[in-house]
Structure 1
Amino acid sequence: MTTPATDPGTQAAHPTAEDEVVGICQDLLRIDTSNYGDGSGPGERDAAEYVMGSLCEVGLDPEIFESAPGRASVVVRMPGVDPARPALVLHGHTDVVPAAAEDWTVDPFGGEEIDGLLWGRGAVDMKDMDAMILAVVRQMVREGRRPARDLVVAFFADEEAGGRFGARYAVDHRPDLFEGATEAISEVGGFSVDVAGRRTYLLQTAEKGIGWLRLVADGRAGHGSQVNTENAVTHLAAAVARIGNHPWPLQLTPTVHALLSGVADLTGLPFDPEDPDAVDRLVDALGPAARFVGATVRNTANPTQLQAGYKSNVIPGTAHAVLDTRFLPGYEDEARATLERLAGDHVRIEDLHRDRALEVPFAGDLVDAMVSALHAEDPGATVLPYTLSGGTDNKSLARLGITGYGFAPLQLPPSLDFAAMFHGVDERVPVQSLTFGVRVLDRLLATC
């Protein structure tokens, strides 16, 4: 596969995607788009305005819209070489989780380049991919090249809080923007790991479902000095302990099964899907990516918040806890039934946010094109499917029947704990990974 031909004069007159991607990423990192989940985070409108300017500068006509004041998203449609083919959605999100500056080695919103890495909140989740998308799109327009089919490029707000003010709003209120689209590409896939000395790229073809749940225990309020057998705090604490300590069973979905089978082939380790120890050894062989994969062999439920009472000598009438539960594709009902049982008779469960699990085939023309684009830049590398333990805006697009994949291509050094960068301290991405990514993405959009 070769890079599409360009006019030498045009190429010399304008910076390429490889020239621009680092600067664009730094600009985005310096815009504080922290999403606190309560609508108070700044910056999404500022980031959207930056994206608008970048796209308008090369002659595109993007649309910016808000779901609420400041909660801005941007979408632009690029005509393809073959408009008869279904459109492809290429999307990112501009918000990030908050970062406590005192915990970081550098300013989390400084966008510094140190020793060949870009540091900052969003460097991997996902302003790196946002920058790659912008850089490649700008290069294509400048060079007069069109994607292989119609391309819907979207930058959404609010992904880090479930997408209600971003992708979900766009799907519910502006489905016309995605007319004719059947497939989508977004974050957390296409990155490399080292498996038995062999560089292996993990292409995301599935993601767990999300259930952010509130546990509510009701009891009898009273004086703290009295005997109280209907103490809401006691009921809640027991339920939280049962759920937090529950040993969820091993359950391998088709995607996880395919991944572990591929790892077994690379390592020579045995694969017995019924043997937890054998599964754990294969997961460990994935190095830093084991954090992602290890959470996808079973359902999970983690208590994350507790709230009860207002004074040391008053027994409260209610107590609350919050759970972050993630369920495997096809196992949502089973997981909920287990949680109801563990919560017990004195605690009820309320939904804060729920969204579907996804699983799509590791096959088809788009998958073949993604694999070919990687192989063109890294011949001989292995590409395997995997399940994301978190979630992406592909969940919202799935409501329109759009099949989503995670493919933000990054060739990473084996020593970088990539999984720890997501929502972690000192988030950073290698500059060379970004330039690799734009080359892969440019090839993909020309052929897929």
Structure 2
Amino acid sequence: MAQVKASVSRFIEYLRIKTVPAQPGLRHMSQRSSSNRPQSLSLGFQSIEYVAGKPVVILTWPGTDPSLPSIILNSHTDVVPVFEEFWDYPPFEAARDFKIYARGSQDMKIVGHCYLEAVRVLQEQGRRLTAHAASEIGGHDGMCKFVESGEFKALNAGFALDEGMANPGNDLRVFYGERAPCWVKFRARGNVGHGSQFIEDTAAEKLTPIINHLMEFRQAQFDIFKTPNSDGSLRTLGDVTTTNLTLLESGVQQNVVPESALAGFDIRMTPTIDYIEFRKGLEDLGKKHGAEVEFAQFWDDNTVTKTDASNPFWTAFSGVMADLGISVFKEIFPAATDSRYLRKAGVPALGVTPLTNAPILLHDHNEFVTESEFLNGIDFYAKVIQAVADVE
């Protein structure tokens, strides 16, 4: 019981650190990891700032065979901002009312801290992993830079675990790939004049067919999304490419035909399509209608992790799920996580957050996890880490 209380207390302490970007909490977290390490866990420690103010903390537990590839346990510590007026409890106090309310509790501090508590359990049981285990705690400005670094190459990564998502249903959601962001802007330029006239070749005339084309594509993908699979199962967002018109800019005055007009789209591409071919199609669309095309963000790699017998890490992971009696639902993550950098670097990765029969509270007000979910997560990761680290 004392051990359980200590684990929960450490989790509460972690949740109370304000790791909102641009606040000192991220560096505080790094310093706390360094100062607490000697008296808690026998782990190697590094803290590196590839981007100033955004530390990447690398904790390592050497295995019995250093020649084997390591297992990466990835967790970002940064959290999104809060609107405190919509919270029932202060978002960084980790108040407890049968639930633990805190920003980042579900996304994804529960995962990162469960890693550490699971390692603690394994060490106290006298377990030794065959492969090296490394916990990397960073974010967009962490993993992106980390995979290009000498520190990452030194880890000789062979497999990774990362964040997933809660499921209101019974199945454990396991993400083996993710949709890639394509943020594109089309800017059209044309003739100007008084709003009372028929001005030809205007910016709006050029931009309208582009918007119409992408809205038709959006509807076609939405129709696919609403159509069940051949086995009757429902499709997920990861199965399709979503398109949303998110920016519209034009005009200086009501009675003036503007010189330019801009439309921006947030497109999330499913990895089952050819990303490069899709980008070329957007470039051709802009060229056809005389518009400039700018990609604010574009991810060009659609690698996914194999979830069959050809991947020994999947075999080990799914074996643990079978032993625990957990039903697994495999899917493509609807947004983007750090795993995309790992997969592009050749490291197979699975995204898992062990929360079932739980609401999805990513970025939501009153984000919470229960104490039992946290404690069950420790047991979950202790078994998973042991299994994947002992893959030969």
Distance 1:302 1:308 in 2: 18
| 1:403 maps to 2:353 | no
**Retained in 2: the 8 A contact 1:25–1:130?**
no
Amino acid at match of 1:348: E
Distance 1:107 1:283 in 2: 40
Amino acid at match of 1:426: N
Partner of 1:77: 60
Which of the residues 14, 27, 34 maps onto 1:45? Answer: 27
Amino acid at match of 2:175: Q
> What do the CA deviations read for 1:22-53 (whole angstroms, capped 9, x no partner)?
43443333333334xxxx56633233333334
The percentage of counterpart residues that share the same residue type is: 23
Of the structure 1 ranges 397-406 and 330-339, higher mean CA displacement relative to structure 2 is found in 330-339
Change (3 A) 1:166 1:176: closer
**Retained in 2: the 8 A contact 1:119–1:426?**
yes
Distance 2:87 2:252 in 1: 33
Change (3 A) 1:22 1:390: farther
**Retained in 1: the 8 A contact 2:248–2:262?**
yes
**Retained in 2: the 8 A contact 1:327–1:357?**
no
Of the structure 1 ranges 174-183 and 124-133, higher mean CA displacement relative to structure 2 is found in 174-183
Partner of 1:255: none
> What do the CA deviations read for 1:189-235 (whole angstroms, capped 9, x no partner)?
6x5553xxxx3222221212221223323334556666544544564
Partner of 2:15: 29
Distance 1:248 1:341 in 2: 20
**Retained in 2: the 8 A contact 1:183–1:402?**
yes
Unaligned runs of 5+ in 1: 1-11, 158-162, 252-273, 285-292
Partner of 2:101: 119
State how many pairs are aligned: 381
Change (3 A) 1:219 1:138: farther
| 1:366 maps to 2:313 | yes
Amino acid at match of 2:93: G
Distance 2:168 2:47 in 1: 37
The alignment partner of 2:51 has SS state of: coil
Deviation at 1:340, TM superposition (A): 4.4
User: Equivalent residues in 2 for 1:94-173 (5 A)?
Assistant: 94-114=77-97, 116-141=98-123, 144-157=126-139, 163=140, 165-173=141-149
Partner of 2:73: 90
**Retained in 2: the 8 A contact 1:209–1:329?**
yes
Distance 1:104 1:241 in 2: 40
Which of the residues 44, 65, 74 maps onto 2:48? Answer: 65
Amino acid at match of 2:180: G
Partner of 1:290: none
| 1:188 maps to 2:164 | yes
Which of the residues 294, 306, 320 maps onto 1:350? Answer: 294
**Retained in 2: the 8 A contact 1:34–1:43?**
yes
TM-score w.r.t. length of structure 2: 0.83
Change (3 A) 1:347 1:275: closer
Distance 2:225 2:204 in 1: 39
Distance 2:204 2:37 in 1: 54
Change (3 A) 1:374 1:238: same
Change (3 A) 1:105 1:221: farther
Partner of 1:207: 178
Change (3 A) 1:19 1:248: farther
Partner of 1:318: 260
Of the structure 1 ranges 401-410 and 306-315, higher mean CA displacement relative to structure 2 is found in 306-315
TM-score w.r.t. length of structure 1: 0.74
> What do the CA deviations read for 1:380-429 (whole angstroms, capped 9, x no partner)?
x322322111121111122331111112323x32xx332xx223333222
Partner of 2:245: 303
Partner of 1:430: 370
Distance 2:191 2:11 in 1: 55
The alignment partner of 1:359 has SS state of: coil
Distance 2:383 2:60 in 1: 19
Amino acid at match of 2:260: T
The alignment partner of 1:206 has SS state of: strand
Partner of 1:392: 337
> What do the CA deviations read for 1:328-372 (whole angstroms, capped 9, x no partner)?
224124533554466561433212222233322113332233233
